[in-house]
Amino acid sequence: MSEQDKASLIFNKDETRRTIRENTDLVGDSDNPVIEIRKPRQEQWIKCRGKSLEDLHWKDLVFLQDQDTMKEEVWLLNGDEDTLKKLRNTFEGVTRPSILVPCIDQTGTEFLWIVKQPGKGMRMTLAHSTGKVAVENAQKGWRKIYWKPGYGYVSMKPVDPDAIDDQKFTDKLSIEEICFNAFDGRIIDTMDHVQVKVWRGQKLNG
């Protein structure tokens, strides 16, 4: 059998149709896309959702280090007033009020940027203040946002905004749904949560 015949057997239209049919959920837009939590990258142009900071959600987040990867993991605290008070006290020192900022880059990829804010008794830093300003700027249009030592977050306008493909935020998901998807599986809403027990040195089956 020639190489051409072998290639025709593997790469043919029937196989293409079968692959698409069997992976329908992977083709096209997903109703529940994975939303990555990350900071803007200097090489990217981004826009932020909303018209002002008041359109965005401020939540208490816990920043923990994964013992296997040694990378920082972000967890969202949720619950009624009494539960939240207990959770904040439990994770005192690693909890920060943060602005949850849904963003989109010039390729159409949406992600969630977490802008930390000072907790009770903490002073406002460059990261806190310039982060808020950068978000407000990116709510007005395309910006490159990056960290500059001594200056904080810097935002840069494009010389020619029309040179960047106009990407639209998905209309299938609200800001609330985007935030929920980003924290799927990482919401601490009870004192019986595994992360609470690990932090307190408590038996997991206790």
Q: What is the pLDDT along the chain (206 residues), one digit of tens a residue?
A: 655 554 454 444 455 555 544 554 444 455 667 899 999 999 999 999 999 999 999 999 999 987 778 788 999 999 999 999 999 999 999 999 999 999 999 999 999 999 999 988 899 999 999 999 999 999 999 999 999 999 999 999 999 988 888 899 988 888 899 999 999 999 999 999 999 999 999 888 75
Residue ranges of the domains in the chain? 30-200
74/95 Cα distance (integer angstroms): 10
164 forms beta bridges with: none
Please tell me the pTM assigned to this model: 0.81
Structure-token match 């959600």, residue found = 57
Are the C-beta atoms of 41 and 113 separated by less than 8 Å?
Answer: no
Are the C-beta atoms of 132 and 99 separated by less than 8 Å?
Answer: yes
Amino acid type, 82: D
129/87 Cα distance (integer angstroms): 26
